[in-house]
Structure 1
């Protein structure tokens, strides 16, 4: 080795010794990072040690590439004090999607009460003489979204038990408890045929115990042989809608392509496409054009099944019950605390909009969206929500014009915890990872194998470009937390794994 090379070697060795000494004196801090897999499967840098702060954990998750170009509001509070311990764009107003139901549900619980029930009545403006009603028979709805065919059957049985077998007058549907505006102001016309956008009427009917009011279940099965029209059934059976069957039964093993869609502005349900002989059934919950006439038609069928006939020149029509009419029979719905299970667990839009109108009717004598939303805003202010920063356009969250921040959601969820009705409200929230439909609800297939399962109780939300999740979770050390996540303007999904990752991080954290 030459003298110059030997000097270079000694210098490098001395430098290395100095670096090692410096590392010993000043160890690497917690902020050191390494590459990790993000919620979406992409790689993103995250803090490397077990002592990573909650802020670092959530910030890391929010670096997911799927969120680039959009905006995500996140707010986390301690449930016992309301202290905000994390916020990312928490004060920015964003579209909440079905997280709007947290606002609608909490205000309805407070204004109407958990024991509140909706009423449906059968009345006459005439007299019952012998076996005949001399006058009109009214089916008067007062908002019950849980009315079923079996309830109308019972009404008919009640009339039969009174000895009635003839009605010398008209059969009239009365939906005047609410106004005649059937769609919320921002509903897309393309959603009108679907159960998520069904008309809201004071007199309506549900096809089953999911209580999608104002809809019929259309079921399509293969015909008996190739070339036959498929078999179509309706639940409930009704002649208030017209089935236009343009579909065809094709050979076994072929691909199925069935579409079921109600024609805009009519009650014509168009069925098109092909279904193989060995094909599985196709089903659709189709919203009808006139829920009141659907209920009246099914009631008419119930009357006929009991041998009760409309005689003379009587027919079926829409009308208003006179104030002096006599109640012949009636039914109250389940209490609000029970209705909240399908409402919140399954995120039922129709229930939300009905509650808005009912709050307006009860508080202001006007069953309209304008009255109901005004009542909601007043109540939310009482709950500590800064109502100067929110925009309320409907009760369900279908509108893309609703605006609420994540911080206001966590403020609401903190402040309502002391209300007498809160246990019923909390019980209605979907529970992560629970496979039971009316327990896990819209979270039943999420966060199953994690500390968030059975722990996260939260409301989901989803419309085009929007995904949201807000609710409650208990951290690993028992600290109870409140959170809200509002993801807006994403293009490439799904983004629910990002929400789930944050929820899991909260569930696994130790303070």
Structure 2
């Protein structure tokens, strides 16, 4: 009896397969019918989903999907376009994950020459309307395009209801957005431990996961909701109390892609030193970093054989900026903390990343 609530706590790795896991648990518990509504609870974070909503005059050159407490597939769906037909014929499409509430209007054709489709979407009255215009050159394989979801909790509720119905669980109510009452009976949960999440963020510089974690920090710090203000206060207060950051340090996001972030290499070195001295967290943090010549964002760096595997670090790249920080094991088997930030107007990031690699090489001599 009653409603079925699904509450998100910032698990940015939640996927369609995790919904299937939750539903299988409901089936195993003998639940065959929901007499009320399917209610998505996104209240652990604020409802400012895009960076432009909380960073004034952001104008970032890196666009991210909506950041929310209740996440599914990074709050995106994929439309695959097929141009295998005759030139001039309509493109065909497929949506992943499949769902009945996404309507697609194809006004795009197979073309003989190189062309690019334009995809727009609107979310109204519990339906997502996608329009595809332009064209796509004839080819044998489909091309996938990601579409951001404007209303993550409503999309989640609609998708969950449809999957419940497909698995034989009747739903008498509607898909809604709301808050989970207290007390309530917990039926199932899916999560990720912090160590695993940090590794996903650091190894490949995953900006979206970092932004979701940033708001989670704000929620934990404030005891209220996760937002950029509380997250910023948590970071600055903690690092100031530990004498890690300078007075000029500014933090406005979790990924570091905002131009309004300011920090010095000295602050980064002090932070890495603080982590190194923390025997509880250091090993997990060290393993989360990309390894030179082995994996992550450092896998393809042009380095010599000695540095390969001996530098664990984090990269950072923006237009006109490249950064590198981490731990280098020298030939003397001592561990060195490295931090470098370069700004440039010419020669590009590859040239300056090569300088970073040469610095590592010099430090190992």
TM-score range, shorter chain: 0.7 to 0.9
Residue 381 in structure 1 maps to residue 206 in structure 2: no
Structure 2 Cα separation of the partners of residues 286 and 172 of structure 1: 23
Report the counterpart of residue 136 of structure 1 in structure 2.
3
Q: Deviations over 1:29-83 (max 9, x none)?
A: xxxxxxxxxxxxxxxxxxxxxxxxxxxxxxxxxxxxxxxxxxxxxxxxxxxxxxx
Match of 1:403 among 242, 262, 273: 262
* Shift in alpha-carbon separation, 1:242–1:453, aligned structure 2, 3 A: farther
Residue 359 in structure 1 maps to residue 217 in structure 2: yes
Report the counterpart of residue 466 of structure 1 in structure 2.
321
Task: Choose between structure 1 and 2 for higher RCO, CA contacts under 8 A separated by at least 6 residues.
Answer: 1
Q: TM-score, normalised by structure 2?
A: 0.88
2:39 is paired with a residue whose SS is: strand
Q: CA deviation at 1:261?
A: 4.5
Residue 451 in structure 1 maps to residue 306 in structure 2: yes
Match of 2:208 among 327, 335, 350: 350
Report the counterpart of residue 68 of structure 2 in structure 1.
201
* Shift in alpha-carbon separation, 1:276–1:496, aligned structure 2, 3 A: closer
Q: CA deviation at 1:269?
A: 4.6
Q: CA deviation at 1:323?
A: 1.0
* Shift in alpha-carbon separation, 1:224–1:491, aligned structure 2, 3 A: same
Map 1:71-470 to 2 at 5 A: 134-184=1-51, 185-186=54-55, 196-206=63-73, 213-239=74-100, 241-251=102-112, 254-255=113-114, 257-259=115-117, 261-262=119-120, 269-311=130-172, 314-327=173-186, 329-366=187-224, 367-419=226-278, 420-434=280-294, 440-470=295-325
Q: Deviations over 1:302-323 (max 9, x none)?
A: 2012111222xx2111111111
Q: CA deviation at 1:217?
A: 2.6
Q: Deviations over 1:294-338 (max 9, x none)?
A: 222221222012111222xx21111111112222x2223121111
Structure 1 Cα separation of the partners of residues 322 and 129 of structure 2: 33
* Shift in alpha-carbon separation, 1:309–1:287, aligned structure 2, 3 A: same
* Shift in alpha-carbon separation, 1:200–1:322, aligned structure 2, 3 A: same
Equivalenced residue count is 358
- Which segments of 5 or more consecutive residues in structure 2 lack a partner in the other structure? none
Kept in 1, the 8 Å contact 2:10–2:71? The answer is yes
* Shift in alpha-carbon separation, 1:244–1:476, aligned structure 2, 3 A: farther
2:257 is paired with a residue whose SS is: coil
* Shift in alpha-carbon separation, 1:247–1:487, aligned structure 2, 3 A: farther
- Which segments of 5 or more consecutive residues in structure 1 lack a partner in the other structure? 1-133, 207-212, 435-439
Cα-Cα RMSD = 2.7
